[in-house]
Structure 1
Amino acid sequence: MERSMTEKNALELNDLSVAYRVGGRNRAVLRNVSLTIGRGEAYGLVGESGCGKSTAALS
Structure 2
Amino acid sequence: MLIVGVASLLDHGPLAVGEGTLWYPAKITVYGLMPVIGLGLRFIMRAWTTRFRRLAK
TM range (shorter): under 0.3
Which structure's CA Rg is the greater one? 2
Give the TM-score normalised by structure 1: 0.21
Give the TM-score normalised by structure 2: 0.21
- Bigger proportion of residues as strand: 1
- Bigger proportion of residues as helix: 2
